[in-house]
């Protein structure tokens, strides 16, 4: 059975949906999944390239894509897009994180990872 391997957040340090909200919640989710957390800063050229590839292949891609975007990498090579921040108010992105952290998907994933 595939297991979670790494959580990645595509972000920018100036984005209020990203820092501190998504970094804090991402750390929380990574801890619960027992995986490392990788932060890809779109303002750093080397990280931006990796972030663009990830978003283009698995995320909500657009010429000026929304951030944060959150991805879970699995032991079978699969990459799962979990969340995209909202361009509206920060509380909307906070609700998306809260929904993810109490979701049936997360409960099932945690059960599977511990089986």
32 close to 106: Cβ distance less than 8 angstroms: yes
- Give, in order, the Cα–Cα distances in Å from 79 to each of 75, 108, 109: 9, 17, 14
Percent of the chain with pLDDT over 90: 90
CATH superfamily membership of 4-114 = Glutaredoxin (3.40.30.10)
48-102 pLDDT, tens digit each: 999 999 999 999 999 999 999 999 999 999 999 999 998 888 999 999 999 999 9
Structure tokens at 71: 């991805």
Looking at the whole model, is its pTM more than 0.85?
yes
- Tell me the longest C-alpha to C-alpha distance in the chain: 41
């Amino acid at each position: 059975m595939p297991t979670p391997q790494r959580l990645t957040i595509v972000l920018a340090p100036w984005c209020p949906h990203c820092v501190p909200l998504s970094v804090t919640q991402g750390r929380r989710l990574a801890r619960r999944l027992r995986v490392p957390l990788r932060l890809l800063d779109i303002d750093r050229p080397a990280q931006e390239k990796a972030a663009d590839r990830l978003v283009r292949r698995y995320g909500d891609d657009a010429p000026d894509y929304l951030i944060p975007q959150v991805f879970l990498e699995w032991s079978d090579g699969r990459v799962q897009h979990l969340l995209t921040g909202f361009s509206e108010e920060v509380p909307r992105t906070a609700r998306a994180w809260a929904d993810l952290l109490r979701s049936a998907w997360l409960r099932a994933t945690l059960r599977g990872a511990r089986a």
